[in-house]
Amino acid sequence: MPDFGFSIQSSQPIDLDKTYRAVYNFVKEKEPSIQRCIYCGACGATCTAANFSQMSLRKVNLLLLRGQIAEVRQLVEHCLLCGKCMLVCPRNVNTRKMILLIHQALKMPLS
Amino acid sequence: MKFDWFVIPFLAGLTFVFGFCCIKFYLWIQRLSRGEKALLKKHFFSPSLWVSIKEIFNESLLHRKIFRTNALLGYMHTSLAFGWFLLIVLGNIEVKFYSHYSVNPPYVPIFLNYFEPNTAPHFFGRGFRFLMDFLLLIILSGVALAYLKRFQPNRFGMRRTMQHQVLDKLAIISLWCIFPARLLAESFSAALYHNGSFLTNTVGKWLSFLPVDNLIYPAWWGYSIVLGIFFFSLPFSRYMHIPTEVLLIILRNAGIRSRYFNHPFQQVDIYACSRCGICIDACQLSTLGYATQPAYYLRSLRYKTQHNELTENCLLCGRCVEACPVGIFSTDIRSHERTLGHEMNSVHYNFSKNIPKQKNVEVLYFAGCMSHLVPGIKKAMTSILNQSGCSWSMLDEQETVCCGRPLLLAGQITAANQVIMHTRSLIERSHARILVTSCPICFKTFKENYRLNANVLHHSQFIKHLQDEQRIVTQRISAHVKYHDPCELGRGMNVYNEPREVLSHIAHLLPTNHEKNKSLCCGGSLGNIFIDVDSKLQIATNTLQQMDIRSADYLITACPLCQKTFSAVSPIPVKDIAQLVADNLLLANAENKNNYAMISENA
Check whether B358 has a pLDDT greater than 70.
Answer: no
Tell me A110's DSSP state. T
User: Searching chain A, which residue's CA lies closest to the CA of residue B406?
Assistant: A82
| Cβ distance of A80 and B351 shorter than 8 Å | no
Query: B340 vs chain A: nearest CA distance in angstroms?
Result: 12
Alpha carbon B128 to its chain centroid, in Å, reads 39
Closest to B474 measured CA to CA, from B494, B447, B454, B504: B504
- Tell me the C-alpha distance between A90 and B2, whole Å: 79
Alpha carbon B228 to its chain centroid, in Å, reads 32
Task: Answer whether A92 touches B (CB < 8 Å).
Answer: yes
- Whether residue B112 contacts residue B91, with contact meaning beta carbons closer than 8 Å, is answered with yes
Least confident of B211-225, B259-273, B580-594: B580-594
Q: Give per-residue pLDDT as tens, B461-471.
A: 999 999 999 89
Check whether A69 has a pLDDT greater than 80.
Answer: yes
Query: A9 vs chain B: nearest CA distance in angstroms?
Result: 30
| Cβ distance of A94 and B406 shorter than 8 Å | no
Q: How much is the average pLDDT of B40-67?
A: 92
- Compute φ and ψ for B164, nearest 5 degrees: -90, 160
Query: B326 vs chain A: nearest CA distance in angstroms?
Result: 32
Q: What is the pLDDT of residue B113?
A: 84
Q: How much is the average pLDDT of B118-147?
A: 85
The predicted complex's ipTM stands at 0.86
- Tell me the C-alpha distance between B22 and A110, whole Å: 48
User: Searching chain A, which residue's CA lies closest to the CA of residue B309?
Assistant: A30
How many domains would you assign to chain A? 1
Q: Give per-residue pLDDT as tens, B396-407.
A: 887 778 899 999
User: Searching chain B, which residue's CA lies closest to the CA of residue A82?
Assistant: B406
Q: What is the pLDDT of residue B484?
A: 95
Residue A9 lies in a domain: no
Cα B332–B336–B338 angle (5° rounding)?
Answer: 120
Closest to B549 measured CA to CA, from B510, B519, B503: B510
- Whether residue B356 contacts residue B430, with contact meaning beta carbons closer than 8 Å, is answered with no
Mutation pick from B370, B395, B532 vs chain A, by most beta carbons of A within 10 Å, is: B532
Residue A15 lies in a domain: no
Q: What is the enclosing helix (H) or strand (E) of B537?
A: helix B533-547
* A86 chain-B contacts, CB cut-off 8 A: 533
Q: How much is the average pLDDT of A57-74?
A: 91
Residue A37 lies in a domain: yes
Q: What percent of chain B has pLDDT over 90?
A: 63
Decide the pairing of beta strands B480-484 and B473-474.
Answer: unpaired
| Cβ distance of A52 and B348 shorter than 8 Å | no
| Count of beta carbons in the 10 Å neighbourhood of residue B132 | 24
Q: What is the pLDDT of residue A111?
A: 46
Q: What is the pLDDT of residue B208?
A: 87
Check whether B285 has a pLDDT greater than 90.
Answer: yes
Q: Per-residue confidence at B121, pLDDT binned at 50, 70, 90?
A: low
Q: What is the pLDDT of residue B25?
A: 95
Q: Per-residue confidence at A99, pLDDT binned at 50, 70, 90?
A: very high
Residue A7 lies in a domain: no
- Tell me the C-alpha distance between B277 and B273, whole Å: 10
- Of the candidates A76, A86, A103, the beta carbon closest to that of B533 is on A86
Q: Per-residue confidence at B117, pLDDT binned at 50, 70, 90?
A: confident
Residue A2 lies in a domain: no
- Burial category of B491 from C-beta neighbours within 10 Å (exposed 0-12, middle 13-18, buried 19 and up): buried
| Cβ distance of A103 and B401 shorter than 8 Å | no
Residue A10 lies in a domain: no
- Tell me the C-alpha distance between A81 and A84, whole Å: 8
Check whether B598 has a pLDDT greater than 80.
Answer: no
E strand segments, B386-479 = 392-394, 434-437, 455-458, 473-474
Check whether B593 has a pLDDT greater than 50.
Answer: no
Residue A101 lies in a domain: yes
* A92 chain-B contacts, CB cut-off 8 A: 532-534
- Of the candidates B350, B404, B565, the beta carbon closest to that of A52 is on B350
- Give the structural domain span for A78: 22-107
Query: B378 vs chain A: nearest CA distance in angstroms?
Result: 16
Least confident of B103-117, B281-295, B309-323: B103-117
- Of the candidates B342, B400, B530, the beta carbon closest to that of A51 is on B400
Higher pLDDT, B594 or A29: A29
A90: CB partners within 8 A, 6+ apart:
A38, A40, A42
Residue B284 Cα distances to B162, B210, B288, B485, B597, angstroms: 15, 54, 8, 15, 43
* Touching B: A residues 14-43, CB under 8 Å: 33
Cα B50–B54–B60 angle (5° rounding)?
Answer: 135
Task: Answer whether A65 touches B (CB < 8 Å).
Answer: no
Q: What is the pLDDT of residue B600?
A: 44
Helix, strand and coil content of chain A, in percent to the nearest 5, comes to: 50, 0, 50
- Of the candidates B349, B372, B399, the beta carbon closest to that of A78 is on B349
Check whether B595 has a pLDDT greater than 50.
Answer: no
Q: What percent of chain B has pLDDT over 70?
A: 94
Interaxial angle between packed helices B264-272 and B8-31, expressed in degrees from 0 to 180 and rounded to the nearest 10: 150
Mutation pick from A52, A79, A80, A84 vs chain B, by most beta carbons of B within 10 Å, is: A80
- Whether residue A92 contacts residue A37, with contact meaning beta carbons closer than 8 Å, is answered with no
* A106 chain-B contacts, CB cut-off 8 A: 345
- Whether residue B280 contacts residue B293, with contact meaning beta carbons closer than 8 Å, is answered with yes
Q: How much is the average pLDDT of B127-151?
A: 92
User: Searching chain B, which residue's CA lies closest to the CA of residue A94?
Assistant: B532
Check whether B274 has a pLDDT greater than 70.
Answer: yes
Check whether B573 has a pLDDT greater than 80.
Answer: yes
- Of the candidates B404, B419, B529, the beta carbon closest to that of A97 is on B529
Least confident of A49-63, B323-337, B478-492, B584-598: B584-598
Tell me B388's DSSP state. H
Q: What is the pLDDT of residue B29?
A: 94
b/e burial code for range B146-160 (CB count within 10 A of at least 16 → b): beebeeebeebebee
Residue A57 lies in a domain: yes
- Of the candidates B402, B532, B565, the beta carbon closest to that of A82 is on B402
- Burial category of B20 from C-beta neighbours within 10 Å (exposed 0-12, middle 13-18, buried 19 and up): middle
- Of the candidates A73, A86, A97, the beta carbon closest to that of B530 is on A97
Q: What is the pLDDT of residue B601?
A: 45
B314: CB partners within 8 A, 6+ apart:
B285, B292, B297, B331, B334, B527, B528
Q: What is the pLDDT of residue B188?
A: 92
